[in-house]
Amino acid sequence: MTDLHWLSATDIAKAYAARSLSPVELTTALLKRIDYLQPKLHAFIRLDAGAAMEAAKTAEAELASGRSRGPLHGIPVGIKDIIDVSGLPTTGHSKILVDNVAKQDAACVSQLRKAGAIILGKLSTHEFAIGGPSFDLPFPPARNPWNPRHHPGGSSSGSGAGVASGMFPLALGTDTGGSIRNPASVCGIVGLKPTYGLVSRRGVFPLAFTLDHVGPMTRTVADNALLLEALAGHDPKDPGSAATKTNNFSRGLDRGVRGLRVGFIRHFHEVDIPAHPDVTAALEDVERILEAEGALVETIKLPSLTEFAGINRVILCSEAWSIHAPWLRDRPGDYGALARRRLLPGAFMTAGEYIGAQRRRAELIAAVNDKLRDYDVLMCASSMDPASEIEDAVETARTYPRQARVPFNVTGHPALAMMSGLSGNGLPVSVQFAGRYFEDATVLRVAAAYEKVAGWHEKHPPI
Amino acid sequence: MDPTIAALAKAAGLDKALAQFPEDIEAAATQAMGHAGVVKYPTGPAAEPWPPMQAESAL
Residue B42 counted as domain residue: no
Band of the pLDDT at A131, cuts 50, 70, 90?
confident
Instruction: Report pLDDT digits (tens) over B1-57.
Output: 899 999 999 999 999 999 999 999 999 999 998 888 889 999 899 999 988 888 877
Residues of A in contact with B49 (CB under 8 A): 355, 358-359, 361-362
Rounded Cα–Cα distance for residues A354 and A407 (Å): 17
Q: What is the pLDDT of residue B52?
A: 83
* Min Cα separation A399/chain B (Å): 17
Q: Say whether B20 and A333 touch across the interface (CB within 8 A).
A: yes
Residue B13 counted as domain residue: yes
At A387, is the secondary structure helix, strand, or coil?
coil
Q: Which of B23, B5, B39 is nearest to A313 (CA)?
A: B39
Phi, psi of A333 (to 5 degrees): -80, -10
Q: Catalytic residue at A179?
A: yes
Catalytic residue, from A8, A94, A155, A250: name it: A155
Lowest mean pLDDT among A196-210, A235-249, A278-292: A235-249
Rounded Cα–Cα distance for residues A99 and A90 (Å): 8
Rounded Cα–Cα distance for residues A31 and A49 (Å): 7
Residue B23 counted as domain residue: yes
Q: Is the dihedral of CA A444, A450, A455, A459 positive or negative?
A: negative
- Map out the domains of chain A with their CATH numbers: 4-306+354-458 (3.90.1300.10)
> A421, A282 in Cβ contact below 8 A?
yes
Band of the pLDDT at A243, cuts 50, 70, 90?
confident
Q: Which of B37, B36, B35, B13 is nearest to B25 (CA)?
A: B13
Band of the pLDDT at A247, cuts 50, 70, 90?
confident
Rounded Cα–Cα distance for residues A207 and A125 (Å): 13
Instruction: Report pLDDT digits (tens) over A369-419.
Output: 999 999 999 999 999 999 999 999 999 999 999 999 999 999 999 999 999
Residue B58 counted as domain residue: no
Instruction: Report pLDDT digits (tens) over A12-58.
Output: 999 999 999 999 999 999 999 999 999 999 999 999 999 999 999 99
Q: Which of residues 1-59 of B touch A (CB under 8 A)?
A: 5, 8-9, 12-17, 20-21, 24-25, 27-29, 31-42, 47-51
Rounded Cα–Cα distance for residues B9 and A107 (Å): 37
Instruction: Report pLDDT digits (tens) over A251-266.
Output: 999 999 999 999 999 9
**Which string of DSSP letters, residue by residue, matches A268-326?**
IIIIISPPPHHHHHHHHHHHHHHHHTT-EEEE---S-HHHHHHHHHHHHHHHHHHHHHH
Rounded Cα–Cα distance for residues B26 and A344 (Å): 10
Residue B48 counted as domain residue: no
Rounded Cα–Cα distance for residues A244 and A238 (Å): 13
**Which string of DSSP letters, residue by residue, matches A340-382?**
HHHHGGGGG--HHHHHHHHHHHHHHHHHHHHHHHH-SEEEE-S
Band of the pLDDT at A111, cuts 50, 70, 90?
very high
Rounded Cα–Cα distance for residues A335 and A338 (Å): 8
Q: Say whether A330 and B16 touch across the interface (CB within 8 A).
A: yes
> A433, A379 in Cβ contact below 8 A?
yes
Q: Provide the number of structural domains found in chain B.
A: 1
Catalytic residue, from A94, A156, A159, A179: name it: A179
Q: Which of A427, A418, A175 is nearest to A289 (CA)?
A: A418
Cβ–Cβ contacts within 10 Å for residue A322, how many? Answer: 14
> A258, A252 in Cβ contact below 8 A?
no
Instruction: Report pLDDT digits (tens) over A67-99.
Output: 999 999 999 999 999 999 999 999 999 999 999
Complex-level ipTM: 0.94
Higher pLDDT, A188 or A243: A188
Q: What pTM does this model have?
A: 0.97
Q: What is the pLDDT of residue A258?
A: 98
Average pLDDT for residues A433-441, to the nearest whole number?
Answer: 97
Q: Which of A226, A212, A202 is nearest to A174 (CA)?
A: A212
Residue B47 counted as domain residue: no
> A234, A198 in Cβ contact below 8 A?
no
- What is the pLDDT of chain A when averaged over all its residues? 97
Rounded Cα–Cα distance for residues A186 and A431 (Å): 11
Q: What is the pLDDT of residue A1?
A: 52
Q: Which domain holds residue B8?
A: 3-37
Q: Catalytic residue at A155?
A: yes
Q: Which of A381, A37, A376 is nearest to A181 (CA)?
A: A381
Cβ–Cβ contacts within 10 Å for residue A62, how many? Answer: 16
Q: What is the pLDDT of residue A384?
A: 98
Q: What is the pLDDT of residue A245?
A: 75
Could you tell me the CA-to-CA distances from A60 to A17, A109, A137 in Å, in that order? 11, 20, 38
Please compute Rg for chain B using Cα positions: 18
Residue B20 counted as domain residue: yes
**Which string of DSSP letters, residue by residue, matches A204-256?**
B--S-TTT-EEEEEESSHHHHHHHHHHHBS--TTSTT---------STTGGG-
Residue B11 counted as domain residue: yes
Rounded Cα–Cα distance for residues A244 and A260 (Å): 24
